[in-house]
């Protein structure tokens, strides 16, 4: 070793310089890792939101298809009779149509006729 390298002041200065370099590189690595993790987080979050939106869209299509199927079935059968209660009043529009019996009496109580549009509306509510 040369006399210049054995100087304790130079040795301490080199150690401090090395510490600064290590801190600098560790800081850069920490920033890089943070950015990568943030990118992964946002990519996963975006994917989850896209998947949720797709799932909700598929559910809405399925529900719409069920409503259309029920409406067609009710229309094919000329309406559907449901028990008469506080929520299912007699449809005044159907009462004015000649030949349609809007209420029927059964052993377990009166029933009222619901047309396809009213059934669809009530299912949607």
pLDDT in tens, 57-90: 999 999 999 999 999 999 999 899 999 887 777 8
pLDDT in tens, 1-46: 454 557 777 888 888 889 999 999 999 999 999 999 999 999 999 9
Asked whether the beta carbons of 116 and 73 are under 8 A apart, the reply is no
Mapped onto helix, strand or coil, the DSSP state of residue 105 is: strand
Please give the pLDDT value at position 5.
Answer: 57
Q: In this structure, what are the phi and psi dihedrals at residue 110, rounded to the nearest 5 degrees?
A: -80, 150
Mapped onto helix, strand or coil, the DSSP state of residue 100 is: coil
Q: What's the mean pLDDT when you consider all of the chain?
A: 89
Domain residue ranges in the chain:
1-76, 78-125
């Amino acid at each position: 070793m040369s006399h210049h390298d054995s100087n304790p002041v130079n040795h301490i200065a080199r150690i401090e310089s090395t510490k600064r370099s290590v801190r600098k590189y560790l800081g850069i690595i920490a920033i890089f890792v943070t950015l990568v993790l943030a990118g992964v987080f946002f990519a996963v979050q975006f994917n989850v939101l896209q998947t949720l939106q797709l799932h909700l869209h598929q559910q809405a299509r399925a529900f719409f298809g069920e409503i259309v199927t029920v409406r067609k079935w009710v229309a094919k059968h000329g309406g559907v009779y449901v028990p008469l209660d506080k929520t299912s009043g007699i449809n005044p529009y159907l009462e004015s149509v000649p030949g349609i019996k809007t209420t029927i009496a059964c052993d377990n109580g009166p029933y009222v006729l619901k047309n396809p549009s009213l059934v669809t509306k009530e299912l949607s509510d």
